[in-house]
Amino acid sequence: MDSPAESQKLCQSRGYTFPLLSDANADTIRKYGVLHPKGGTAGQDIARPAEFLVDANGTIRWVNLTDDIRVRARPEAALTAIDRL
Partner 1 sequence: MHRNRNILIWVGFAIVLVALVSYIPFFAVFPVTRDIPWANYILFLAGGAVLAVGVRRAFRDSAHYRGKISGSILAVVSALLLALFVVFVAYFTKQIPSAGNALSVGQKAPAFVLPDTAGKPVSSADLLKNHRGLVLIFYRGYW
Q: Minimum CB separation from partner 1 for residue 39, in Å? A: 7
> At 70, is the secondary structure helix, strand, or coil?
coil
For 46, other C-beta atoms within 10 Å of its C-beta total 19
Q: Could you give the string, one character per residue 6-45, with x where binding to partner 1 holds by CB under 8 A and - elsewhere? A: -xx--x-------xxxxx---xxx-xxxxxxx-xxx--x-
By the 8 A CB rule, do 57 and 63 touch? no
Terminal-to-terminal C-alpha distance of the chain:
31
Interacting residue ranges for partner 1, rule: CB under 8 A: 1-2, 4-5, 7-8, 11, 19-23, 27-29, 31-37, 39-41, 44, 46-56, 58-63, 65, 67-74, 78, 82, 85
